[in-house]
Each structure stands twice: as C-alpha cells, then as structure tokens.
Amino acid sequence: KAGVTQTPRYLIKTRGQQVTLSCSPISGHRSVSWYQQTPGQGLQFLFEYFSETQRNKGNFPGRFSGRQFSNSRSEMNVSTLELGDSALYLCASSAGTSGYEQFFGPGTRLTVL
C-alpha cells in the first residue's frame, strides 16, 4: 500500500501571499489530520477531516482552513501568510474510528520570507 503523500515537499512564499498544501491519504483511510510543527511550539493540531466534514479543530486563526474531497484527499490553505507560519506541515491519515493510529506523510516545508 502506498503511504501518505504530500505535495509540494518544499515551498517558499512571501508575507501576504496564500498557499495551498495537498495530502493524499493511504487508500481506504477516511480521516485526514493536519499538524504544524515548529521548533518552538512542537506539533500542534490544526484540524481533522472525516468523510469530507471537519470533525475536530485546533486553536489556529481563521487564516488556516482546509477541506476534504470525496476521494479523501485533503487540502490545507493558509491565507495572508505571516513569517510565523514558516513550519513543517504534516498530514496524517487513519481509518477514522477513534483510537486508530495515524500514519504520517513526509511533510511540506513552508518558508515565509
């Protein structure tokens, strides 16, 4: 089975721009979660989608949004980028029922200049 894939792997943007990251989960997985990882804050939960519906949401501003498509692929969008948005963005998929382990993609490294 193919693992979780994330595109692009690296991105460089400037302040004020917007960005869209993509995540393709493991085949058959219906839950996709997004995390922001920074040296200072560690892994912070952004949101989780299950069957195209946002099921959980972390404590991030509205500039961070996401969606999930019928094939379970997910996108995350960040508008009006700030320097502090520079981070590794990780996507994880799971079968979706509570307690199932999450399988992580390699991440997208976003640098905001």
Partner 1 sequence: AQSVTQPDIHITVSEGASLELRCNYSYGATPYLFWYVQSPGQGLQLLLKYFSGDTLVQGIKGFEAEFKRSQSSFNLRKPSVHWSDAAEYFCAVVSNTGNQFYFGTGTSLTVIP
Please select the residue that binds partner 1; options are 13, 20, 22, 45, rule is CB under 8 A: 45
Please select the residue that binds partner 1; options are 11, 19, 78, 92, rule is CB under 8 A: 92
Pairing of strands 53-57, 42-50: antiparallel
| Selected range binding partner 1 among 13-21, 59-67, 77-85, 104-112, rule: CB under 8 A | 104-112
Tell me the DSSP string of 35-59. EEEETTTEEEEEEEEETTEEEEE-S
- Measured CA to CA, the distance from residue 29 to residue 92 in angstroms comes to 10
Give the residues lining the site for partner 1 (CB under 8 A). 4, 31, 33, 35, 42-43, 45, 48, 50, 55-56, 90, 92, 94, 96-107
